[in-house]
Amino acid sequence: MSSSKIVVCSFYTADDYYRQHGERLAKNLSDLGVEVVLREIQKKDGEDWADICRKKVPFIAEVCQMHPDKKVFWMDVDCMLLGLPEYIFDSTADIVGFQRGYGSPVVIGYEKKSRFWEPSFWGINTTALARKMISDAAELERTSTVKATDDYFMEEAWRANCDNMTFQIIPSNAVVGMGVANEHSPQAFFKFGSSGNVDQFKGKVQQHTGGQGMRRKALRFAKKLEAKLPAKASSKIRLLADTIGITGVLTSSKSNPEQRARNAALTNIHENAQTGQTENYLAAVKQFEEKYLLTQAEMNHITVSRSFHYFATRSSTESVPLAWWTKPFPGNFGDWLSPLVVSHFTDKSILFQSPVKLATKDHLIGLGSIGRFIKPNSIVIGTGISTDELTLAKQAKYVSVRGPVTARVVRESGGPNVESFGDPGVLISRIYPVTRTNNSRVALVRHFTHKAIPLTLHPNMDELDVLISHPDEILTLVQELNEYERVVTSAMHIFITCQSYGIPCALITFEGFEDSVHGNGIKYGDYAQGVGLEAINPVAVGLNLGKIDFDNITTDHKIGEEKLDEVAKAIQTGLSYFD
């Protein structure tokens, strides 16, 4: 693919936020050798965000006229290109882009969305049909008096011309953090941003209508209501939703009848696995695998169900309900340390209590940044938060929390003064007492949200995967980590694991992806102070890891036995409520 055959265009308003993004995008495209038409536009008196967006239509048409022999790609200014895959930039289709919401072909087109294309990135070929569509959109925008954004005019032009056009939908896993990839998937090449203005103008500009169930309308109403409330009231409303278990209901989605049947079968597998119904569970898995050719996402469902089943079918006839975060499937190492650690201190079966659903019984809530889902009948052992802009359930039994930041938020929420700190993940070295060796190599372990970033590794670096859930897989990963001279990671619980064993470790994030991990960053200092160390934050590094000197950002702390005793005692105290 020759970058001389394409041009990327974008614009931004004359304010510091978007100007900085414009400078970043210009450098991003320059580094890739791509021609860019980047324009700063002035916001006139009386113009709002919708009026600015509308200007995109004549701007794209103008760029197409300027470059009749080049494919023109629009990108929102706060997005990034990580590469130039041929299947996108050499496409012969008239139009190429992501479908609305970066959706999967399983829910293609208008089934759930009012518009076809995702506006943040799409390409226009040099063909007559492609250029006609853009011209039609520009002419409609010029003559129309409706209050609308660019989406409206582009959608109208698309609907008027699509019967005669060829088009290519880009798979959702081409976006960093979207879709479900496997070893055959192309690398992600696109990172999207968000201006934060879309919700503000919903209902105020002309919209196309699409399939919207009551659930989606309720979620939209809830978001609008929350946005209008003061911060303190908003956090209380969010607490209520999380406490009574409607968060999961509102944020779940529907699909077509065939997909609903598959999803129902997967739900049946999970429910039998989570409740230890072995015969039903095995029969459901067998039936599903015989009936369907599994997608990667469905394989991940089956894989994680084995982990649920493992914890639910221990030898004891008694059980302990435990809330932990289970996604993304097949499971994230850090989150699945929670049932592993708790099960180490009891022979009872560990039954899954969904954090986002109603809890009718007392239950433990442990490791992870899931403090917002603490309920009045939760027994809290080492739980943390990812942001301190929360109100936590004051009636819960707080045995321990991750650190002093979480403890402060508990107090500010009207709860008790918690004095026992420590993330339960620090106990991994006691659960698996692995002997350290040194292969003189470096292990890289990314946070799962960083999995799709196209990194260049140093020749002396090996990559290990964090997407695991079964205790056997966790043991294998822990053994592998202990073989390396150093670990470089953007996953906090890998960092915690290294500090449990005393493995030298560098905690990092990636330049341009600092906001990929949920939260405002307080969890790192909360953890560190909770185990008696100085506060720490990930260091942002470039995508070419071969150029990074990790010596200055590597720590070799090892959690002391006294702290490990304190954390173990907290878990035992939490379990005593079920004796």
Between the ranges 46-50, 51-55, 236-240, 411-415, where is the mean pLDDT highest? Answer: 411-415
Indicate whether 40 and 189 sit together in one domain. yes
pLDDT band of residue 200 (cuts 50, 70, 90) is: very low
Quick check: 462 pLDDT over 80? yes
- Token readout for 86 is 């041929």
Residue 186 is classified by DSSP as: P
- Token match 């070799």: residue? 556
DSSP 8-state symbol, 173? G
CA distance 540 to 526: 19
> Does some domain include residue 358?
yes
> How many angstroms separate the Cα of 123 from the Cα of each of 1, 74, 75, 126?
15, 6, 9, 10
The DSSP-derived string for 465-510 is -----SHHHHHHHHHHHTTSSEEEES-HHHHHHHHHHT--EEEEEE
What are 42-96's pLDDT values in tens digits? 888 888 888 999 999 999 999 999 999 999 999 999 999 999 999 999 999 999 9
- What average pLDDT score do residues 389-412 get? 97
User: Do 393 and 509 fall within a single domain?
Assistant: no
Token pair 């939490």 is found at 574
Q: Which of 201, 233, 267 is the last residue of a domain?
A: 201
Query: pLDDT grade, residue 205 (50/70/90)?
Result: low
Within 13 Å of residue 212, how many CA atoms lie on the same side as its CB? 12
Most confident residue range from 116-120, 292-296, 397-401 = 397-401
pLDDT, averaged across the chain: 90
Say what percent of the chain tops pLDDT 90.
74
Domain boundary, last residue among 201, 225, 243: 201
pLDDT at 216 over 60: no
Task: Identify whether residues 263 and 332 lie together within a single domain.
Answer: yes
471 and 556 assigned to the same domain: yes
DSSP 171: P
Q: Is residue 209 part of a domain?
A: no
Q: What is the mean pLDDT of residues 19-31?
A: 93
Range among 43-47, 105-109, 352-356 with highest mean pLDDT value: 352-356
* Tokens describing residue 235: 């956090």
Q: Which pair of structure tokens corresponds to residue 135?
A: 């011209």
The four Cα atoms 140, 142, 146, 151 give a dihedral, to 10 degrees, of 60
pLDDT category of residue 145 using cuts at 50, 70 and 90: confident
* pTM exceeds 0.75 for this model: yes
Q: pLDDT value at position 436? A: 95
Q: Does pLDDT of 231 surpass 70?
A: no
Examine the domain organization and report whether 452 and 560 are in the same domain: yes
In a domain, 578, yes or no: no
| Total residue count of the chain as it appears in this document | 579
Supply the pLDDT for residue 7. Answer: 97
Please say if the pLDDT value at position 238 is more than 60.
no
Say how many domains are in the chain. 4
Give me the mean pLDDT over the 347-364 stretch. 96
State the pLDDT at residue 221. Answer: 55
Q: What is the pLDDT of residue 189?
A: 94
pLDDT attached to residue 269: 98
Please check whether residue 480 lies inside any domain of the structure: yes
Q: Is the pLDDT of residue 440 over 60?
A: yes
Tell me what pLDDT residue 198 has: 46
Q: What's the pLDDT at 208?
A: 64
pLDDT at position 554, please?
96
Whether residue 108 has pLDDT greater than 90: no
- What's the confidence (pLDDT) of residue 180? 85
CATH number assigned to the domain comprising residue 42: 3.90.550.10
What one-character DSSP code corresponds to residue 456?
B
Same domain, 311 and 412: yes
Span of 207-211, 271-275, 282-286, 355-359 with lowest mean pLDDT: 207-211
Domain-embedded: residue 151 = yes
- Do 227 and 103 sit in the same domain of this protein? no
Residues 286 and 417 in one domain: yes
450 and 338 fall within a common domain: no
Q: How much is the pLDDT for 46?
A: 87
Condensed to tens digits (0 to 9), the pLDDT of residues 465-522 reads 999 999 999 999 999 999 999 999 999 999 999 999 999 999 999 998 988 898 888 9
Q: Residues 418, 461: one domain?
A: no
> Could you tell me the pLDDT band of residue 196, with boundaries at 50, 70 and 90?
very low
Q: What is the mean pLDDT of residues 545-573?
A: 96
Tell whether 415 and 439 lie within a shared domain: no
At 505 the pLDDT is 97
Range 183-198 average pLDDT: 76
Confidence of residue 239 (pLDDT cuts 50, 70, 90): low
Report residue 185's pLDDT band, with 50, 70 and 90 as the boundaries. Answer: confident
Q: Quote the pLDDT of residue 199.
A: 46
Average pLDDT of span 304-322: 96
Note whether 335 and 393 are same-domain residues.
yes
Residue spans of alpha helices (H) in 75-213: 86-89, 128-143, 150-161, 198-201
Q: Within a domain: residue 78? A: yes
The answer on pLDDT for 188 being more than 60 is: yes
Report, as an integer, the average pLDDT of 412-438: 97
Task: Flag whether 576 is in a domain.
Answer: no
The angle subtended at Cα 212 by Cα 200 and Cα 148, nearest 5°, is 40
Among 156-160, 194-198, 239-243, where is mean pLDDT lowest?
194-198
Q: What confidence score (pLDDT) does residue 233 get?
A: 57
Check residue 295 and give its pLDDT.
Answer: 84
How far is residue 419's CA from residue 570's CA, in Å, rounded to a whole number? 11
Supply the pLDDT for residue 257: 77
Query: What is d(CA 374, CA 480) in angstroms, rounded to the nearest whole number?
Result: 34
Q: How high is the pLDDT of residue 248? A: 54
**Residue range of the domain that includes 520:** 426-566
- Report the pLDDT averaged over residues 552-568: 96
In a domain, 206, yes or no: no
